[in-house]
Amino acid sequence: MNTVQRQIVLPFSKAIEIAYKSIRLRLSRSLLVTSGIVLALAFLMSILTTDAITESMRTWASSNSSTASQRLLSLMKSNGLPTTAEEIRNDRIQTRWLVGLALLVAFVGILNAMLMSVTERFREIGTMKCLGALDGFIIKLFLIESFFQGIVGTVVGVIVGLSLSLLSQAVTYGAFAWVNFPAMKIVISAGACLVVGMTLTVAGAVYPAWQAARMQPIDAMRVET
Amino acid sequence: MTVANDTIPTGGPTSLTEFTVRTIDVKRMYKMGAEEVHALRGVTVSINRGEYISIMGPSGSGKSTLFNMIGGLDKPSSGKVYIDEVDIAQLDSYELAWMRCHKIGYIFQTFNIIPVMTALENVMLPMIFAGLKTDEAQDKAAAILKRVDLGHRLMNKPQEMSGGQQQRVAIARAFANDPAIILADEPTGNLDLNTGKLIIELLRDLNKEKGVTIISATHDHKMLAVSDRIIWIRDGVVDKIQNRADLKIEEGTIQGAAGQELH
């Protein structure tokens, strides 16, 4: 009678089961959050891809003097792309700004989406703690949920961004887009996008969840949402 | 699966186990900016096993703070709170979670049903936290829901239920792991008169049936009328403890402590 035991730690599979159920049950809500991640990543990925392709086309065009490369050069010029060394240098700086901007969009967009989706569940976190959930379990739950959302959102975002960018390059430059295709660079960009997307998503969910889990349950439930 | 089953004997003298909750000179101080707020200034109360207790007091009296202390939701700045003779200040987070899971059932004014889960899943949740297998939990949760007359709504989500039904789900969930104490924070605050009455009757019946201690913070006269004792809190101290027999229940009003009339 007069004994207190230690609360059992639920197995990881139980957390996965509950997290999976939670995503499925709030499908429309989690799709909305995921679409935010998709948009941000698609933007970042398309900028990186477009930049890589332009760069490689320019290298190809200036490294030989065939009529085809002359045609590509004039095509690039008519599309407003820089051709002289001075212009190229300025363009590089511009691209860097654009990539920075895309990163910022991804950063703010994803963190905001995740913060919102966890904050509106503070009351739920408080309730779960009253029912005997351990802090670690709540963090695990959000870690798994955000991991699922992050992986889906990031992969879809990368695919969307890549295809849109390839499509627009193909429409503008036709076969020239493929002559010196920077496959390696694009794979690296996709990998970088994956890392950025996953990190932001998981960090954006786990940080507020960790905060809420540490709160006294009564305070977590008192937070106005 | 890591199961830590080592039990830690934390005992007081066995002669005191008739009390489920004891507080000894409990003080609670908050810092609000530079100001110190004394929510509780030394409260000593003992609550017997199986009692039905109401805690009364105007807002800002420290009523909610005391209520949270008793429920293991807050720790005192000084003084002791014993739940089932265990000093809650000594517990680490694992033991506190175990306590909340097994010893205490919570009922809230706002029901706090997990919105994406069905009635059955809500009642199963504390059982899952306690380590029950899914099918065991399912059977047990269904039986409890049947007891609160919701046998026909097992698969409904809270938004498909009325306030009274949601509160009954919450009551079923509070009883999930056969707790020693039920803490009800204004359980009828969001319900209409008749529904509130039914909820109070249900709580009273379960109190008799299971011998569980029920402690509620309330303003509801109907609740006061069925309480064994009423603890009045004022300015962070116990103003008065009334037995039901001492209550002068008049039509529609109750003459409370210090003679103020409650509406």
Tell me, yes or no, whether A180 lies in a domain. Answer: yes
Residue B143 has pLDDT above 50, yes or no: yes
Contact A218 B73 (CB under 8 A): yes
Question: Average pLDDT over chain B, rounded to whole?
Answer: 85
Tell me, yes or no, whether A174 lies in a domain. Answer: yes
pLDDT at B254: 52
Tell me, yes or no, whether A39 lies in a domain. Answer: yes
Q: Provide the domain count of chain A.
A: 1
Please state the rounded mean pLDDT for residues A188-196: 94
Residue B179 has pLDDT above 90, yes or no: yes
Q: What is the DSSP string of B106-173?
A: EE-TT----TTS-HHHHHHHHHHHTT--HHHHHHHHHHHHHHTT-TT-TT--GGGS-HHHHHHHHHHH
Q: Which residue of A has its CA nearest to B74?
A: A216
CB proximity B38 to A under 8 Å:
no
| Residue B78 and residue B27 in contact, taking contact as beta carbons nearer than 8 Å | yes
Q: Give me the sign of the Cα torsion angle B86, B88, B92, B94.
A: positive
Euclidean distance between the first and the last CA atom of chain A, given in angstroms as a whole number: 40
Q: Which long-range contacts (CB under 8 A, 24 or more apart) does B134-141 make?
A: B140/B176, B141/B172, B141/B176
- Residue ranges making up the domain that contains A66: 26-222
The total number of residues written for chain A in this structure = 225
Angle between helices A85-119 and A27-63 (to 10 degrees): 170
d(CA A193, CA A199): 10
Q: Which residue of A has its CA nearest to B106?
A: A130
d(CA B225, CA B228): 8
Among the partner-chain residues B5, B17, B106, the one whose CB lies closest to the CB of A5 is: B5
Least trusted range by pLDDT, from A13-17, B44-48, B122-126: A13-17
Please, which residues 12-51 of chain A have a Cβ atom closer than 8 Å to chain B? 14, 21-22, 25-26
Tell me, yes or no, whether A7 lies in a domain. Answer: no
Q: What b/e readout covers A100-129, taking b as 16+ CB neighbours within 10 angstroms? A: eebbebbbebbbebbebbbeebbbbbbbbb
| Strand-pair partners of B254 | B249, B262
d(CA B153, CA B169): 10
At A102-117, the pLDDT tens digits run 888 878 888 888 888 8
